[in-house]
Amino acid sequence: MVEIAEPDVGMRLRFLRDQQGLSLRMLAERCGLSINAISQIERGENSPTVSSLHRLAKALNVPITDFFQPESRQRLVFVKRDMGLRTQSKGVIMESLGIGLTNQQLEPFRIMVGPEEGNTSDPISHSGEEFVNCLNGQIEYTVGGSIFRLEQGDSLLFDATQPHAYRNVLPTPASILLVFQTTRDLIGVQRLHLESSE
């Protein structure tokens, strides 16, 4: 069982940045965020958006789950309903449904998308595969130029190197189960597998 606690994303960001020997300026140049914005996140003065987390993950060459990663790794993780670690940006809440396994290869999330919100303004692509299941509402997924409207119970599995984006098409909230395949290099260092911007 994993002890549920609010993630200190700022502390993890500072740790990962220091671990790679990056200054605030160097990280800012890599991710496109301002030095001040990164500094505020590290000091806990500002909550990062989902988009910012993805940019930082790409710049640090780690999966986004590294910002939520508990220090101890284990062989089993149990998360009670609605108790997963969360990050939030305007209109979107991203809840981790399980992190912490040694050599973890799947990254499951529940994404709660506000009315008519999403990331369609800037489609994303990343290594690995992606699985989506619509839990409620209606989500429009665009993958490689094709549009799929997912209703409750509908699923989508695709090669995530194709540009893709999603949005809630209704004036009511929607949520999806999203599972990413984690990729790692030969020495076990986690590589970037997701980037996004709003």
**CATH code: domain of residue 18:** 1.10.260.40
Tokens of 136: 């409620």
112 membership: H or E segment, kind and range:
strand 106-113
Claim to verify: residue 103 and residue 143 sit in the same structural domain: yes
Q: How far is CA 68 from CA 13, 65, 71, 114, 186, in A?
A: 10, 5, 9, 23, 23
Domain range for 168 is: 86-181
- Crossing angle between the packed helical segments 9-19 and 50-60, to the nearest 10 degrees: 20
Indicate the number of domains in the chain.
2
Claim to verify: residue 25 and residue 97 sit in the same structural domain: no
Q: pLDDT tens digit string along 121-153? A: 778 777 778 899 999 999 999 999 899 999 999
Q: Model pTM?
A: 0.61
Is there a domain that residue 76 lies in?
A: no
Claim to verify: residue 97 and residue 133 sit in the same structural domain: yes
Claim to verify: residue 32 and residue 116 sit in the same structural domain: no
Claim to verify: residue 33 and residue 102 sit in the same structural domain: no
Claim to verify: residue 90 and residue 177 sit in the same structural domain: yes
Is there a domain that residue 1 lies in?
A: no
138 membership: H or E segment, kind and range:
strand 138-143
Is there a domain that residue 174 lies in?
A: yes
Is there a domain that residue 61 lies in?
A: yes
DSSP annotation of 81: T
Claim to verify: residue 55 and residue 96 sit in the same structural domain: no
Is there a domain that residue 94 lies in?
A: yes
What's 109's domain CATH number? 2.60.120.10
Q: pLDDT tens digit string along 154-192? A: 999 999 888 898 999 999 999 999 998 765 432 222 222
Q: pLDDT tens digit string along 29-69? A: 999 999 999 989 888 888 888 778 888 988 888 887 778 76
Q: Which residues, other chains included, contact 45 with Cβ-Cβ below 8 Å and sequence gap of 6+?
A: none
